[in-house]
Amino acid sequence: MDKDINIKVKVWRQNGPKEKGHFETYPLGNISQGSSFLEMLDILNEQLINQGKEPVVFDHDCREGICGMCSLYINGHPHGPDQGITTCQLHMRQFNDGDTITVEPWRSAGFPIVKDLMVDRMAFDKIIQAGGYVSVNTGGVPDANAIPIPRNDSEMAMDAAACIGCGACVAACKNGSAMLFVSAKVSQLALLPQGRVEAAKRAKAMVAKMDELGFGNCTNTGACEAECPKNISITNIARLNREFLKAKFKD
């Protein structure tokens, strides 16, 4: 049975990308363990507004684990201590009475801070724009069995397509690498015949844009896979490397 707890929330406050940030700690009482983490932040902001203080800025949208905008670094973990979920799916039952919860934004050169806990993740959009699509004319919608695709390939493509682009992989990586995200987007197309036409161009363009935007290199520590809310496998990184090398050999 859920109960009410008293906690302290240690939050990163920063007015903008060029401002110096700092932590501020706020006490919160009678927080139901049945509430979500974002609901707890809503309560915190109501308290701050009632005190005449500026509320904490954080990003959110669907609150259903779909969009990935609720990108918070909680007690040293992207999206919090629970596995396979986004921040909006994290509940306060994961915390105990008297806990101090540290909340930070994503830390990456590719994700500059907008304000407080909100970061600019437009870099991921730019990587997708560089090649994460199929531009050839594939005609109308074919029958389900018109293009024979091995079941294992279709399932792996669907698994890769589950990536929501939240950036947890970048936040978890000691190098700030975006390889898990890029490899998932490359894999979901490379495994299907519709994506093979532009496979070489796609791999080179997306990797080049990733490097241009300041993301670090992958050193295979596996932290990205461990913290990914959609459990995207690092086997996709191996596939991206193969796709990239094949493209370079063709050159």
CATH no. for residue 242? Answer: 1.10.1060.10
Q: How many domains does the chain have?
A: 2
Number of alpha helices (DSSP H) and beta strands (DSSP E) in the chain? 9, 7
What sign has the CA pseudo-torsion 201, 242, 189, 212?
negative
Same domain membership, residue 99 and residue 136: no
Q: Are residues 129 and 240 both part of a single domain?
A: yes
- Predicted pLDDT of residue 138: 64
Nearest to 202 by CA among 132, 99, 101: 132
SS3 content of the chain, % helix, strand, coil (to 5): 40, 15, 45
* Mean pLDDT per 10-residue section of the chain, whose length is 251 residues: 92 94 97 97 98 97 94 97 96 97 95 96 97 82 77 94 97 96 96 91 96 94 96 96 92 78
Domain final residue pick, 104, 139, 169:
104
Q: Say yes or no: 128 and 241 in one domain.
A: yes
Last-in-domain residue among 61, 77, 104 = 104
pLDDT, position 136: 75
Closest CA to 75 of 11, 165, 170: 11
Contact status, residue 35 vs residue 13, Cβ threshold 8 Å: no
In this structure, the answer to whether residues 13 and 72 fall within a common structural domain is yes
Task: Write out the DSSP string of 141-174.
Answer: ---TTSS---HHHHHHHHHHHT-----HHHHH-T
* Final residue of a structural domain among 74, 104, 134: 104
Q: What predicted TM-score, i.e. pTM, was given to this entire model?
A: 0.93
Neighbouring residues of 220: CB distance < 8 A, sequence distance ≥ 6: 234, 237
Local structure of 100: helix, strand or coil: strand
Residue 42 CB contacts under 8 Å (≥ 6 apart), including other chains? none
CATH number at residue 51: 3.10.20.30
Tell me: do 12 and 52 sit in the same domain: yes
**Shared-domain flag, residues 128 and 94:** no
Residue 194: per-residue pLDDT: 87
Same domain as 136, residue 243:
yes
